[in-house]
C-alpha cells in the first residue's frame, strides 16, 4: 500500500538525518535551512543544496587545478576559494566539510603543499559523502511526495 | 517615537526627491510595519549564501535585491540612489574587495554597510570595523541576526539628524560624509545646504588625500572620535618634541601640527595618554630581574649597533630617563630614516626601542615575550642592526603601549586599532627574522599606511590572522575556542598593565607558534639540529612553546615548511632541561589556549591522516618527532572520523532496500 510507504519513507528520512547529525556531517544550520522551506518555496532546501553542489564542485576543481600545478605558489588564491567554500558549507550546515576547510586553510597559510594536498583529498572525500547522503535524502523526499500524492486521490474516491 | 517619525519623514522626503527609484517602499518603511519593507541590497559572489540570505531577508519582510558582483551592485546603487536603506556585502569577492565597496558606498551614498564573511577571526573582524562597517556578520548567518539589521539604518539616521540640529558646530570636517539626503529634506539648514555640500566635497577630497580623521558625531553631546594614525601621531610627537615635553600644551601642539579639523580636546586627550605612556616606559625600564645568564649567551651574538645609540639605551635601561630625553630619543629615532620598518613602526614602539639595551633586554616584561625576540635579535643584529631595536621593541612597545592605551580606551581615541597595528607589526617582525641557514630574507616589510588609518603590513595580513586563527576559527566548532578567543581579546583589552605585557606577547607567541597556523612563523619545538629525547611528555604549556619559539626562531624564515605538529605537548620539565633554561624564562602563562589551539590543529590534522603521514605533511626535518602526543590531544577529531561508516556498503544499503 502506498500510503504505508509514506510513513516508512518519512521514518527512513528521519533516521538518515539523525545519523548525519550524529556523525557531525550536518549541524543545526541545516535545520535552519529546512525551516526556510515553506509554501512560497516548497523546494527551497533541494534548490539551495543543488546550488551548493554546483558551486562546490567548481571550487573543488579550481583547488585541485591549483594544487596539481607544479609551479603552484598562489596560496592566497587558494585561500580565497577556501573561504568561499567554508562560507557556503557552513551556511547549509555541512559541518564536517567546513572543518576540513579550516584545516586546509591552515595548511595553505603555512604554504604547506603536501598538507594542502592531503586536505584536498579529505575534502573531496567528505564532500562526496555529504553529497551522496543528501541525494539519498532528496530521493526519499521525492518518493514520499509521490507516495503521498498517489494516496490523496484514493482518499478522494472514498 | 517622535524621533523615529522625524527620521521617517526626512527619509520619505528624500526618497520622493529621487522620483525615479522604486522608493515607494520608503514610505512604507517607517510606518507601522517597520522594519518591514526595509530595502536591502545583498552582495555576495557565493550564490548559495546569496540565495539563503535572500530567503531569510524575505522572511524578515524586507525588500531584497541581490547581486552577485560588487561592480554590478555599485552600478545599481549609483543608478538608484535612495532606493536602498542598507547594504549587506561579503568581504571576499573576486571583482572588488568588499572593503573597497564599503568605502565607496559610505562615501557616495552614505548607506550603512554590513560586512559578512566566513572568516570570523578577530583580525578580520577588526579590519571590518576599521573600514567603517556598521556590523560584521560571520557565516553561517542566522535569521535572527538579519532581523536586527534595521537598527543600523536608524542609528545612522539619528546621528545624522543630531548633526544637523547642532548646526552651529559645523566645521569643515565635522561631517564624516555629507548627508545629502537628509540635508535636502531637512528644514533646519536650508541656508546651509550650499555650505554643507561644499563641505562634503572638501571633506571627500580631504579624505582622499589624507584620511586621518573620522569623526562620527560632532554633536555637543559626544566627543568626536579621532583616529590617531601613524602619520598623525608622528606629527603630534614632532610637535611635542619641538615644544619640549614639559612645555607641550595642547593648544600649541595643535597649532604646530596644523591639522585641520583636529580639536584641542583631541590633542589634549592624546597628550595625556602619551604622557602616561612615557611614564610607563621610564618606569618599566628600571625594573631589573633578568638573570645574567639570560644575557650572557646573547652577548656574544649581539653586535654593537653601529649607530651608536646603544650608549643611550644602556643608560636608558639602567636609569630612569626623564620624559624629555625619551621624547628626544623618540624624535631621534623618528627622524632617522632607518629601515623602513623602523620609520613606519608605531612611534611608541620606537620610543620603547630607544629605551632598551640591546643585550639583556632589561625590561622584564620582555622576559615573557622578549624571548623569541632575543634570539632573533642576535640574528638580526648580524644583518640588520637597526632592526634589532625595533624588533624587540615593537614587541615591548606593543605590550607597553597597548596595555597603556587599553587602560584609557574608554575615551574616544582609537587605540584598539593600535593594538592590531602593533600586533600586525609584531607578526611582521617575527616574520622578518631570517633563517640562519638561508640567505637574508627581505629586511623589512614596508608597512603601508592606508588612508583608513590602519597600518597594515604590505604582506597579506594573513600572518596576523593566522596567528589568531586558532582563536577565532570556528564558533561552531566543537572544540572549545573560547579560551583562546578570550585570550586574544585579553591581550588586546586587558587592563592589567605589567601582567598584560607578558601575556600579550605570550599570547601572540602562542598563536603564532603553537598551532603553526601562522604562515609566517611556525615555531618548531625541536631544534633542527638535535633530537629531544624528552619529547614524549604531553602537557602542553605555552611557556614551553614560547621557549621553543625562542630557540627556533633563528632557524625560521618567512616561509616555514618545517612545521612541527607535536610541539603542542611539551612539559615544563622538558623545558627546564633544555639549554634554553639559561634564558631565565619566568612567565608561565596559561596553557589552555595553546593546548586548545594545538588541539584543533592536531585533531583536524589527525583526521587528515594517520599519525605517520602527519609527518609527511609537516615535512619536517626532524624525523624522530614522536606522534603520540597529538593523537592523545586530538580528542575530538578522531571520534568524528571513526563514525564515518565504511564507504560503499552503507551508501548502497538504502537503495537496495
- The enclosing domain of A107 has a CATH number of 1.20.120.160
Contact B469 A107 (CB under 8 A): no
Q: What pTM was estimated for this model as a whole?
A: 0.44
Structural domain includes residue A21: no
- In this prediction, residue B286 has a pLDDT band, given cuts at 50, 70 and 90, of low
Cell numbers for B534: 624528552
Structural domain includes residue A2: no
Residues 6+ apart with CB under 8 A from B453: B130, B211, B212, B214, B227, B228, B229, B232, B414, B417
Q: How far is A122 from chain B (nearest CA, A)?
A: 6
Task: Show the domain range for A65.
Answer: 46-143
Model pLDDT for residues B528-554, shown as the tens digit of each residue: 344 344 444 444 444 444 344 344 444
Q: Residue B619's closest chain A neighbor by CA?
A: A114
Contact A27 B601 (CB under 8 A): no
Contacts of A55 in chain B (CB under 8 A): 46-48
Residues forming beta bridges with residue B174, ordered by sequence position: none
- In this prediction, residue B562 has a pLDDT band, given cuts at 50, 70 and 90, of very low
Once rounded to an integer, what is the mean pLDDT over residues B169-196? 45
- Residues of chain A above pLDDT 90, percent: 63
Whether the CB-CB separation of B447 and B455 falls below 8 Å is answered with yes
pLDDT of residue B87: 93
Structural domain includes residue A78: yes
Contact A111 B561 (CB under 8 A): yes
pLDDT at A30 over 60: yes
pLDDT of residue B265: 84
Q: Which of B43-57, B150-164, B415-429 has the lowest mean pLDDT?
A: B415-429
Q: Residue B600's closest chain A neighbor by CA?
A: A103
Contacts of A97 in chain B (CB under 8 A): none
Structural domain includes residue A28: no
Side-chain-side CA neighbours of residue B590 (13 Å): 15
What are the angstrom distances between the C-alpha of B279 and each of A40, A102, B324, B423, B535? Answer: 66, 44, 11, 22, 44
Q: How far is A158 from chain B (nearest CA, A)?
A: 31
The residue with greater pLDDT, B124 or B656, is B124
Structural domain includes residue A25: no
Structural domain includes residue A77: yes
| Edge-to-edge strands, sheet with B39-43 | B63-67, B39-43, B86-90, B113-117, B135-138
pLDDT of residue B231: 80
pLDDT of residue B31: 63
User: What mean pLDDT value characterizes chain B?
Assistant: 56
Query: Is residue B558 helix, strand or coil?
Result: coil
CB pairs under 8 A between A and B: 156
Q: Which of A77-86, B164-173, B301-310 has the lowest mean pLDDT?
A: B301-310
What are the angstrom distances between the C-alpha of A115 and each of A56, A72, A85? Answer: 20, 14, 18
Q: Check if B613 contacts A (Cβ < 8 Å).
A: yes
pLDDT at B371 over 90: no
Contact A12 B654 (CB under 8 A): yes
What are the angstrom distances between the C-alpha of B535 and each of B525, B627, B628? Answer: 9, 10, 10
Number of domains in chain A: 1
User: What mean pLDDT value characterizes chain A?
Assistant: 88
Nearest by CB to residue B476, choosing from A36, A90, A133, is A90
Structural domain includes residue A126: yes
Nearest by CB to residue B48, choosing from A23, A91, A102, is A91
pLDDT at B102 over 50: yes
pLDDT of residue B180: 45
ipTM: 0.91
Contacts of A88 in chain B (CB under 8 A): 46, 48-49
Model pLDDT for residues B32-81, shown as the tens digit of each residue: 777 888 899 999 999 999 999 999 999 999 999 999 999 999 999 989 88
Once rounded to an integer, what is the mean pLDDT over residues B176-184? 45
Contact B605 A84 (CB under 8 A): no
Name the CA radius of gyration of chain A, rounded.
Answer: 19
pLDDT of residue B612: 43
Model pLDDT for residues B81-97, shown as the tens digit of each residue: 888 999 999 999 888 88
- In this prediction, residue B431 has a pLDDT band, given cuts at 50, 70 and 90, of very low
Nearest by CB to residue A52, choosing from B48, B55, B608, is B48
Structural domain includes residue A115: yes
Q: Which of B5-14, B107-116, B123-132, B360-369 has the lowest mean pLDDT?
A: B360-369
Amino acid at each position: 500500500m502506498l500510503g504505508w510507504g509514506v510513513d516508512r519513507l518519512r521514518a527512513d528520512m528521519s533516521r538518515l538525518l539523525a545519523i548525519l547529525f550524529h556523525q557531525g556531517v550536518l549541524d543545526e544550520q541545516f535545520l535552519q535551512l529546512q525551516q526556510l522551506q515553506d509554501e512560497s518555496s516548497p523546494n527551497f532546501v533541494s534548490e539551495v543544496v543543488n546550488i551548493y553542489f554546483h558551486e562546490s564542485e567548481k571550487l573543488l576543481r579550481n583547488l585541485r587545478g591549483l594544487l596539481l600545478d607544479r609551479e603552484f605558489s598562489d596560496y592566497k588564491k587558494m585561500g580565497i576559494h577556501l573561504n568561499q567554500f567554508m562560507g557556503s558549507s557552513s551556511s547549509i550546515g555541512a559541518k564536517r566539510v567546513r572543518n576540513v576547510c579550516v584545516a586546509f586553510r591552515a595548511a595553505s597559510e603555512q604554504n604547506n603543499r603536501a598538507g594542502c594536498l592531503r586536505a584536498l583529498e579529505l575534502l573531496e572525500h567528505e564532500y562526496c559523502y555529504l553529497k551522496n547522503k543528501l541525494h539519498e535524502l532528496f530521493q526519499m523526499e521525492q518518493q514520499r511526495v509521490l507516495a503521498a500524492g498517489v494516496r490523496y486521490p484514493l482518499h478522494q474516491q472514498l | 517615537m517622535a524621533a523615529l517619525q522625524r527620521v521617517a519623514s526626512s527619509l520619505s522626503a528624500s526618497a520622493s526627491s529621487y522620483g525615479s527609484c522604486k522608493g515607494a517602499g520608503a514610505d512604507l518603511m517607517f510606518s507601522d510595519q517597520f522594519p518591514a519593507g526595509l530595502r536591502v541590497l545583498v552582495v555576495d559572489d557565493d550564490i548559495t549564501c546569496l540565495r539563503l540570505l535572500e530567503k531569510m531577508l524575505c522572511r524578515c519582510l524586507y525588500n531584497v535585491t541581490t547581486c552577485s558582483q560588487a561592480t554590478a551592485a555599485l552600478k545599481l546603487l549609483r543608478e538608484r540612489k535612495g532606493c536602498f536603506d542598507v547594504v549587506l556585502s561579503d568581504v571576499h569577492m573576486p571583482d572588488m574587495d568588499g572593503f573597497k565597496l564599503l568605502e565607496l558606498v559610505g562615501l557616495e551614498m552614505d548607506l550603512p554597510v554590513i560586512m559578512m564573511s566566513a572568516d570570523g577571526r578577530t583580525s578580520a573582524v577588526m579590519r571590518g570595523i576599521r573600514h567603517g562597517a556598521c556590523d560584521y556578520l560571520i557565516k553561517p548567518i542566522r535569521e535572527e541576526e538579519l532581523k536586527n539589521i534595521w537598527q543600523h539604518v536608524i542609528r545612522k539616521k539619528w546621528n545624522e539628524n543630531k548633526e544637523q540640529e547642532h548646526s552651529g558646530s559645523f566645521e569643515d570636517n565635522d561631517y564624516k560624509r555629507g548627508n545629502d539626503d537628509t540635508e535636502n529634506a531637512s528644514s533646519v539648514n536650508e541656508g546651509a545646504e550650499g555650505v554643507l555640500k561644499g563641505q562634503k566635497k572638501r571633506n571627500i577630497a580631504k579624505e582622499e588625500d589624507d584620511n586621518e580623521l573620522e569623526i562620527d558625531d560632532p554633536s555637543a553631546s559626544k566627543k568626536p572620535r579621532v583616529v590617531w594614525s601613524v602619520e598623525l601621531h608622528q606629527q603630534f610627537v614632532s610637535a611635542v618634541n619641538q615644544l619640549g615635553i614639559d612645555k607641550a600644551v595642547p593648544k600649541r601642539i595643535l597649532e604646530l601640527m596644523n591639522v585641520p579639523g583636529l580639536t584641542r580636546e583631541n590633542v589634549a586627550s592624546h597628550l595625556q595618554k602619551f604622557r602616561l605612556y612615557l611614564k610607563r616606559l621610564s618606569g618599566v625600564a628600571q625594573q631589573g630581574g633578568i638573570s645574567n645568564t639570560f644575557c650572557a649567551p646573547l652577548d656574544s651574538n649581539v653586535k654593537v649597533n653601529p649607530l651608536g645609540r646603544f650608549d643611550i639605551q644602556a643608560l636608558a635601561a639602567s636609569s630612569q630617563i626623564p620624559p624629555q630625553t625619551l621624547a628626544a630619543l623618540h624624535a631621534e629615532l623618528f627622524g632617522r630614516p632607518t629601515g623602513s620598518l623602523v620609520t613606519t613602526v608605531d612611534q611608541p614602539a620606537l620610543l620603547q626601542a630607544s629605551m632598551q639595551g640591546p643585550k639583556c633586554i632589561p625590561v622584564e616584561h620582555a622576559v615573557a615575550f622578549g624571548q623569541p625576540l632575543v634570539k632573533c635579535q642576535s640574528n638580526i643584529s648580524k644583518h640588520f642592526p637597526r632592526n634589532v631595536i625595533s624588533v624587540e621593541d615593537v614587541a615591548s612597545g606593543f605590550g607597553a603601549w597597548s596595555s597603556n592605551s587599553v587602560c584609557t580606551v574608554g575615551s574616544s581615541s582609537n587605540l584598539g586599532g593600535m593594538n592590531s597595528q602593533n600586533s600586525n607589526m609584531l607578526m611582521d617582525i617575527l616574520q622578518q627574522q631570517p633563517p640562519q641557514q638561508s640567505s637574508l630574507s627581505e629586511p623589512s616589510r614596508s608597512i603601508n599606511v592606508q588612508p583608513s588609518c590602519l597600518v597594515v603590513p604590505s604582506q597579506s595580513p594573513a600572518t596576523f590572522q593566522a596567528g589568531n586563527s586558532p582563536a577565532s576559527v570556528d564558533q561552531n566548532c566543537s572544540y572549545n575556542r573560547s579560551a583562546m578567543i578570550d585570550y586574544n581579546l585579553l591581550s588586546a583589552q586587558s587592563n592589567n598593565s605589567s601582567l598584560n605585557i607578558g601575556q600579550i606577547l605570550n599570547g601572540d607567541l602562542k598563536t603564532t607558534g603553537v598551532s603553526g597556523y601562522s604562515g609566517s612563523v611556525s615555531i618548531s619545538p625541536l631544534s633542527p639540529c638535535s633530537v629531544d629525547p624528552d619529547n614524549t611528555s604531553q602537557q602542553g604549556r605555552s611557556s614551553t612553546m614560547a621557549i621553543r619559539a625562542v630557540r627556533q626562531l633563528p632557524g625560521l624564515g618567512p616561509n616555514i615548511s618545517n612545521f612541527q605538529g607535536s610541539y603542542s605537548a611539551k612539559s615544563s620539565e622538558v623545558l627546564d632541561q633544555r639549554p634554553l633554561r639559561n634564558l631565565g624564562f619566568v612567565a608561565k602563562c596559561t596553557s589552555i589556549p595553546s593546548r586548545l589551539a594545538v588541539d584543533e590543529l592536531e585533531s583536524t590534522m589527525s583526521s587528515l591522516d594517520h599519525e605517520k603521514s602527519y609527518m609527511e605533511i609537516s615535512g619536517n626535518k626532524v624525523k624522530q618527532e614522536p606522534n603520540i602526543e597529538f593523537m592523545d590531544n586530538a580528542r575530538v577529531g578522531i571520534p568524528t572520523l571513526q563514525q564515518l561508516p565504511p564507504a560503499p556498503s552503507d551508501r548502497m544499503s538504502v537503495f537496495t532496500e
